[in-house]
Amino acid sequence: MSHGYNAVGWTPFKKRFDRWMLAGIGLYLIVFVAVSVVAPPDGESFTPIQILIRATGTLAFLLLTFILCIGPLARLTDRFKPFLFNRRHLGVTTFLIGLAHAGLVLLWYHGFSDVNVFVSMFASNPRYDSLAGFPFEALGFIALLIMFVMAATSHDFWNANLGPGVWKMLHMGVYLAYALLVAHVALGAIQFEKHPAYLALLASGVVIVSLLHLYTALASSRIDGGKILNAGWIRVGATSDIPDGRALILQPTDAERIAVFRDGDRIAAISNVCRHQGGPLGEGRIIDGCVTCPWHGFQYQLEDGRSPAPFTEKISTYPTKIENGIVFVNPEPNAPGTEEAPSIIGAPA
Amino acid sequence: MNIETAGMLVTILGLYAAIGLLVGLIVVTVGASRMDPAAKGMPLQARAIILPGAAVLWPLMLIKLFTQKEPPVS
C-alpha cells in the first residue's frame, strides 16, 4: 500500500508463483521446439530462429489470453484468486516474451535489410489496402507498444501518481492489445501458416475470453439492487444470508456498489471499490479483522474504511441496522474514512 | 506505407524515446520524490523499474514536474 515504494513487494507466495510461472514458460518453449524439430509439419522445415519465433509468439498469445481470463475466472471460483494477486507479474512476463518474439522477427526477417529494421518492417509490405495481404507485423508492433506502456506503468508508483481512474483506463488498453494481437495472429496464420493448429488456437482463445467476459458481465448485472424502503434504507437480507468473513454486494440505483460484510456478529457496510485499482472489495474476505481486496490484498478496517496504519487509504462507510434479523443499509455514503459503528447481531434494535 | 513515410515515423518514435529517456532519468533521480513524498528514499531497483514508465509518459511527467503542487491523493 502507499507507504514508501519497493521494487517488488515480494512474499514467499509470490516467489513460489514466479518460480512456477518461469518453469511453465521454460517447459512450453522446450516442448514446442522439440515437437517442431522432431515432427515438423508436412513438407516444411524451419530454422531454429523460425521455430523460436513461433514458440514465443504462441506463448505470448496464450499468456495474454489466460491473463484476460483470470478476472472472470476469479469471480467464478476462488481457485483463481492467486493468479489475480499475481497478474501483474504475468503481464510483465508476457510483454517480455512478446518483446523476444518481436526481436527475433526483426532479426530474422529485417535484420539483413539495407535500411533500418523498423523502417523495413513498416515498408517491406506496402499492401495496407489488402485484407489477405495486410502487413500483420505492424499490428503486432502496435500491440507490443500498448503492452509496453502497461508493463512500464504496472508499479504502484504509477497507480498512486496517475490516479486509480487514469491508471485503470490506461490498463484497459489490454483489450485493444488483445484485439490487435488476434488480428496479427489471424492474418499471419492466413498468409503463412499451413498448419490448422494456429487458427484453432486463435479461435479457442477468442471464444473462451469472450464467453467468460459475457457470462460474468451477465452475472454481475444480476447483483441485487435491494429494495428501497422508508427513509432510503435498503434491505440487504437476513443476517444468515451473509457468510461469516464475506460480503453481499448491493447495486443502489445511480450510486457506487456497496459491500455489506459480516465479521462474526458484526455487520458493516463499505464501498465496494478498492482505492488501489478499483478492485471489488465485496468479493474479498476479512483477514486479520480487515476487509482484504481480492486483487492485490489492500486492506481496510470495517468500522471506518481506513487502511490500518501506517497506510493511508480511505473508502466510504455506510450506516447499517438490523431489524428482526434483517440487515438494512443506508445508501448515502459517509465521507471516506468516517467511523461508523457496525451493527451487532442479536443486540437490541 | 512507402519507405519515406516509414522512415519519418521511425524517426519520430526514436525522438520520442530519446527525449523520454532523458526526462525519465530526471524523474527517477530527482523528480519522483518531488511529485510524491512516498518516493523519497525509494531503492535504486524501484527507480529503475519506474524509468520505462517515466520515459513513455514523459509529456505528462513534464507537466507534473512543473505544475503539480500537491502530493498524489492516495
Instruction: Give which of A126, A124, A139, A133 is closest to A191, Cα–Cα.
Output: A133
Is A157's CB within 8 Å of B36's CB?
yes
Domain boundaries, chain A: 12-221, 227-344
Q: Which are the contacts of A263, defined by CB distance < 8 A and separation ≥ 6? A: A244, A245, A286, A289, A302, A342
Report yes or no: A152 and B20 within 8 Å, Cβ to Cβ.
no
Q: Would an 8 Å CB–CB cutoff place A153 in contact with chain B?
A: yes
CB contacts of A118 in chain B (<8 Å) are 6, 10, 13
ipTM of model: 0.92
Exposure string of A27-60, with b = 16+ CB inside 10 Å and e = fewer, is ebbeebbeebeeeeeeeeeeeeebbbbbbbbbbb
Burial environment of residue A217 by CB neighbours within 10 A (0 to 12, 13 to 18, 19 or more): exposed
Whether the CA torsion A112, A116, A121, A124 is positive or negative: it is: negative
Is B56's CB within 8 Å of A153's CB?
yes
Report yes or no: A104 and A56 within 8 Å, Cβ to Cβ.
yes
Nine-digit cell string for B25: 532519468
Find out whether the peptide bond into A310 is cis, omega within 30 degrees of 0: yes
Residue with cell 488498453: A173
* Domain spanning A227-344: CATH 2.102.10.10: yes
E strand residue ranges, chain B: none
Is B1's CB within 8 Å of A123's CB?
yes
pLDDT tens for chain A, residues 1 to 349: 555 788 887 888 889 999 999 999 999 999 999 999 888 777 777 889 999 999 999 999 999 999 999 989 988 887 888 888 788 899 999 999 999 999 999 999 999 888 999 999 999 888 888 877 888 999 999 999 999 999 999 998 998 888 878 888 999 999 999 999 999 999 887 777 777 888 899 999 999 999 999 998 887 766 655 555 556 788 888 998 999 999 998 888 778 889 999 999 999 999 998 888 778 899 888 988 899 988 778 899 999 999 988 888 889 999 999 988 899 999 889 999 999 999 998 877 6
Tell me which residues of chain A, numbers 85 to 124, contact chain B at a CB-CB cutoff of 8 Å: 115-116, 118-119, 122-123
